[in-house]
């Protein structure tokens, strides 16, 4: 952020009076520009013993497999965002069965929320997907998953499925988790 | 939003190529300015049979009672945001016991998340609170609660307490809920 989106003058980065952390602030019109984490909402679509994954047609992680998910938009609810993303990326309808993973990603200012869902009817690749397919547990492309959030959600699911009990899992992706997943030094 | 925060030129409000909804976009540097919902995180602090509420020292709803909660910041997790807000508004420490309500407020682009927590030790009014107090169910100031999210969370809690079972409750505040709560037209 270089300029004030309200008045167009250059912004400073400093701690406002009465605050405890630096913000972008405009000394011309007085606006404080708060920046907050974004929600990524999506689903884990299940059809019998198989789960649906999408192969990404866009960067980042083009060509890798992911769950249908994306940034929640203004004026919608979290379940609406999750079902919309599933429709957009997998041309699929799901009957939601509850929030399943909530994963904090403080290093990139995101909160990832996946709802379990029962796949209803057909599916196809949306414009952001190269292909969409159903996988048995043994066929999951573990080495070709797009993000650590996707791997973690799938690991929880296959473990929980043995007990047929799907509690909400809340966790964080740490810098170490990220390094391990992306095989960074 | 009037000006591009990246380059300072005036922005347009139009549907970008390949998108399906209008965004603020800069025809000068090409930046698309996405706007997304914000998370309000907080706690329901419980001490024995009583719950902790804060009387607001700030607008909106100055003088009304609320749960300690506020906007999640970048670089933190949802539990961290909830405990930080509890510390700031009630000078209180809580041991979190799980996500309890997730309430969508699509009309104001917010997602409200309250964790149940066991109050540990003392408490006092933070700078944004006029007073902080513990209430038995029969003493809750139902007519002086600040927001419909607070009322709904407390109603769930006192109902669930009878079964000693506290599942996550996901719901929306609709325009009708809002009108009813604030006694509008």
Average pLDDT across each block of 10 residues of chain B; the chain has 185 residues. List them in order. Answer: 97 94 96 97 98 97 98 98 98 98 98 98 97 98 98 98 98 96 83
Q: Comparing C-alpha atoms, which of A179, A12, A32, A34 is closest to residue A107?
A: A179
CATH number at residue B7: 2.20.70.10
State the Cα–Cα distance between residues B86 and B63, nearest whole angstrom: 18
Q: How confident is the model at residue A184 (pLDDT cuts 50, 70, 90)?
A: confident
Contacts of B33 in chain A (CB under 8 A): 5
* Residue in B106, B113, B165, B173 to test binding to A, most A beta-carbons within 10 Å: B106
Compare CB distances from A106 to B8, B77, B98 and report the shortest one's residue: B77
Same domain, B66 and B130: yes
pLDDT digit string, tens, across residues A87-121: 999 999 999 999 999 999 999 999 999 999 999 99
Same domain, B16 and B76: no
Is residue A185's pLDDT more than 80?
no
Same domain, A140 and A153: yes
CATH number at residue B87: 3.90.79.10
Q: Comparing C-alpha atoms, which of A29, A106, A20 is closest to residue A12?
A: A29
pLDDT digit string, tens, across residues A132-143: 999 999 999 999
Same domain, B19 and B30: yes
Is residue A180's pLDDT more than 90?
yes
Locate the chain A residue with the closest alpha carbon to B109.
A74
Q: What is the pLDDT of residue A183?
A: 87
Same domain, B14 and B94: no
Number of helices followed by number of strands (H, E) in chain B: 3, 11
ipTM score here?
0.96
Same domain, A78 and A167: yes
Same domain, B133 and B121: yes
pTM, two decimals, is 0.96
Q: Say if the Cβ atoms of A75 and B107 lie within 8 Å.
A: yes
B183/chain A closest Cα distance in angstroms: 23
Q: How confident is the model at residue A50 (pLDDT cuts 50, 70, 90)?
A: very high
Same domain, A93 and A175: yes
Same domain, B26 and B88: no
* Residue in A29, A76, A77 to test binding to B, most B beta-carbons within 10 Å: A77
Same domain, B92 and B108: yes
Q: What is the pLDDT of residue B124?
A: 98
Host domain of residue B8: 1-35
Same domain, A72 and A15: no
Provide CB contacts within 8 A for A100, sequence distance 6+: A44, A114, A115, A116, A153, A156, A157, A166, A168, A169
Same domain, B84 and B26: no
* Tally of domains in chain A: 2
Q: What is the pLDDT of residue B185?
A: 64
């Amino acid at each position: 952020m270089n300029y004030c989106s309200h008045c167009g003058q250059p912004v400073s980065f400093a701690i406002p009076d009465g605050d405890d952390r630096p913000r972008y602030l405009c000394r011309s019109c007085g606006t404080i520009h708060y920046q907050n984490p974004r929600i990524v909402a999506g689903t884990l679509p299940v059809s019998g013993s198989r789960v649906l994954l999408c192969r990404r047609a866009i960067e980042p992680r083009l060509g890798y497999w992911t769950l249908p998910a994306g940034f929640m938009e203004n004026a919608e609810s979290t379940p609406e965002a999750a079902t919309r993303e599933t429709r957009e990326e997998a041309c699929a309808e799901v009957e939601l069965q509850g929030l399943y993973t909530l994963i904090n990603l403080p290093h990139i200012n995101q909160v990832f929320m996946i709802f379990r869902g029962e796949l209803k009817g057909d599916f196809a690749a949306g414009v952001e997907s190269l292909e969409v397919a159903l996988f048995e547990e043994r066929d999951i492309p573990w080495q070709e998953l797009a993000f650590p959030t996707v791997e973690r959600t799938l690991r929880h699911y296959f473990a929980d499925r043995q007990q047929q009990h799907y509690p909400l899992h809340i966790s964080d992706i740490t810098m170490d988790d990220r390094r391990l997943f992306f095989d960074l030094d």
